[in-house]
A and B are shown apart, each in its own frame.
Chain A
């Protein structure tokens, strides 16, 4: 099986679904324009090349470049979805959510409910998350917890190329609005990805490593940092279970709870800010439903409650590190009542 990057996996998922279903369209800023495609407009394929080649194959009717107006992109996509298309809209940076949240929060997320189940909104919003490129406070946030908190939205945070392809195809075939969060530092990360189309069900966590000492739940890029920390800890005789929920809404509560019931110890790793975030949410879940199993306090390893710093040295400190994750695991592992 071929090794493919997350970028290639996403591109393949889009192309295969567009071939399979003529209702699938791509809309966003620069998704067609730029160098490298057969189209006369020289498709660049989005700022990160994920939609490269789609314009050449599917044309301007299905790969729609827009003005720099997120409210219009999301409004058009939500309307198109509710009237029969299956749009994949690109919100270049999730930080731009601020200018189009009404279309997402009050329109797309509410149609099915407010129209008594008679309206479907098969909309996918692909968006970039994550710090680490010195892109500063307005282009570096990880805002999936905001999407997760809205009933009516589904939220996907893939950590590898296999999951990215299967989850994007699942998102496109889903009849509800799905926010698909791509970490900007992971596009070149390669794993084995089948050439054929496939789907991964939402709400099904991936268990990357088995262990009985401490449960570590991590999202997106933090899955890889946690994996690194767990390698270090294994040398110290601490064996961790590593869970990647893959989707934050729906959340695979059972997998997390079953693991904590066995280990009694939990560390949650999240690149987002700590208040009202996924780490707090998962900690609360376990406190609520697995309290009797807990042998130590739940530790959250997150960014601090500050904007993402521009200075590379500060940004490095801002992002949870494998060392901080390992320290947190050691702390809960060594805890005795």
Chain B
């Protein structure tokens, strides 16, 4: 009856993940669970993430305890009905081998490499995942981030759909020099990028400053946008945590970066050393401090957001949803609560400014649902 025995294996979240560390199990051995229930926490290159059950079942054997580090595809646990004998589980565990990467998987890895395009004279890095005839999606990251912020979101959405994550100018692997950093200019650059990618209509997802740019793009070309998801978005009210912006722009050393980054999330313990190191590596690149200072000056002069577009967002004639963390310490959740009542607002508890990383499963479901309802 070994067909009833299934393996829970180390997932691959993000391009660079080759192994993961088990932080802790949220289900005990012997417990039953439904599809989508939280099984365990896994430390990744950026943040500790919860792995949800791909299907329902009974957790018969935890193979990788807290603290264990496994390669992607490694055996975390065994799921099987209660009537399966212990001996059969033993045999399954003993016979389990981490699958060798197939030629297909290698081709996938090759396809999943970031590429570059040229938009309005700027070299921009992007990552495209998935392929389909349905309307593609575009993901826009926030201030100081890059396309890797979507490491949990992009693969989940790319199931049967083309999903592009773009590095904004001054960010990630894109050109660091930019003439203008305001929302309209950036929306125009994203517009050029979409043309270069051959994307007409799209589902638009923006986080923080990327949300502000998404709003500008939607106002500029509403007929092009099939749905709009704004996560902890800028441009919906005047408040912004100026100490974070200043601290992030200034941080050149690890201690300073940690001080700034821990404001981003509800539970700072979730932030991994690699995430801090990645931020520092980005900030050390020539041109980045100047680019960040230009963004900060344009978007958040004197510790306030320059642009407030909540009325314009409320008037948009397209499906819009807002996602926010209750404990956001960068842009207050009040900006979501203050929006027109006809807009669907999802406020996630025990979540900071990075809902798509802190509560990846929930945010992915919300985005998917909106996209699928307006396919």
What residues of chain A have their CB less than 8 Å away from a CB belonging to chain B? 162, 166, 194, 196-201, 204, 207, 210, 254-255
Contact B273 A210 (CB under 8 A): yes
Contact B285 A207 (CB under 8 A): no
A207-B273, A210-B273 in contact; A196/B285 too (CB < 8 A)?
yes
A207-B273, A210-B273 in contact; A199/B284 too (CB < 8 A)?
yes
Asked if B348 is at the interface (CB within 8 A of a chain A CB), the reply is: no
Q: Contact size class for B?
A: 10 to 19
Give residues of chain B (251-308) contacting chain A, Cβ–Cβ below 8 Å. Answer: 252-255, 273, 281, 284-287
| Main DSSP-derived SS at the A contact region | loop
| Residue in B255, B273, B286 whose CB lies within 8 Å of A198 | B286
A201-B252, A201-B253, A204-B253 in contact; A194/B285 too (CB < 8 A)?
yes
A207-B273, A210-B273 in contact; A198/B254 too (CB < 8 A)?
no
Could you write out 21 A-B pairs with CB less than 8 Å apart?
A162-B281, A194-B281, A194-B285, A196-B176, A196-B285, A196-B286, A196-B287, A197-B285, A197-B286, A198-B281, A198-B285, A198-B286, A199-B284, A199-B286, A200-B284, A201-B252, A201-B253, A204-B254, A207-B254, A210-B273, A255-B254
What A residues does B285 contact at CB under 8 A? 194, 196-198
**What is the CB-to-nearest-CB distance from B272 to chain A, in angstroms, rounded to a whole number?**
9
What B residues does A210 contact at CB under 8 A? 273
What A residues does B286 contact at CB under 8 A? 196-199
What B residues does A254 contact at CB under 8 A? 255
Closest A-chain residue to B175, C-beta based? Answer: A196
What A residues does B284 contact at CB under 8 A? 166, 198-200
**What is the CB-to-nearest-CB distance from B70 to chain A, in angstroms, rounded to a whole number?**
14
B39-75 vs A, Cβ < 8 Å mask (1 yes, 0 no): 0000000000000000000000000000000000000
**What is the CB-to-nearest-CB distance from B162 to chain A, in angstroms, rounded to a whole number?**
24
What B residues does A197 contact at CB under 8 A? 285-286
Q: Which of A162, A198, A207, A254 has the most CB of B within 10 A?
A: A198
Q: How far is the CA of A207 from the CA of B285 in the complex (A)?
A: 20
**What is the CB-to-nearest-CB distance from B171 to chain A, in angstroms, rounded to a whole number?**
13
Closest A-chain residue to B253, C-beta based? Answer: A204
Ordered nearest first, which 8 A-B pairs have the shortest CB separation? A198-B284, A197-B286, A198-B285, A196-B285, A204-B253, A201-B252, A199-B284, A196-B286
Q: How far is the CA of A210 from the CA of B23 in the complex (A)?
A: 14
Q: How far is the CA of A254 from the CA of B285 in the complex (A)?
A: 25
B241-252 vs A, Cβ < 8 Å mask (1 yes, 0 no): 000000000001
**What is the CB-to-nearest-CB distance from B221 to chain A, in angstroms, rounded to a whole number?**
32
Closest B-chain residue to A209, C-beta based? Answer: B273
Closest B-chain residue to A200, C-beta based? Answer: B284
What B residues does A199 contact at CB under 8 A? 284, 286
What B residues does A198 contact at CB under 8 A? 281, 284-286
Q: How far is the CA of A201 from the CA of B255 in the complex (A)?
A: 13
**What is the CB-to-nearest-CB distance from B29 to chain A, in angstroms, rounded to a whole number?**
22
Closest B-chain residue to A20, C-beta based? Answer: B286
What A residues does B252 contact at CB under 8 A? 201
Q: A166-B284, A207-B273 are in contact. List 17 more A-B contacts (CB 8 A).
A: A194-B281, A194-B285, A196-B285, A196-B287, A197-B285, A197-B286, A198-B281, A198-B286, A199-B286, A200-B284, A201-B252, A201-B253, A204-B253, A204-B254, A210-B273, A254-B255, A255-B254
Closest B-chain residue to A204, C-beta based? Answer: B253
Q: How far is the CA of A200 from the CA of B254 in the complex (A)?
A: 11
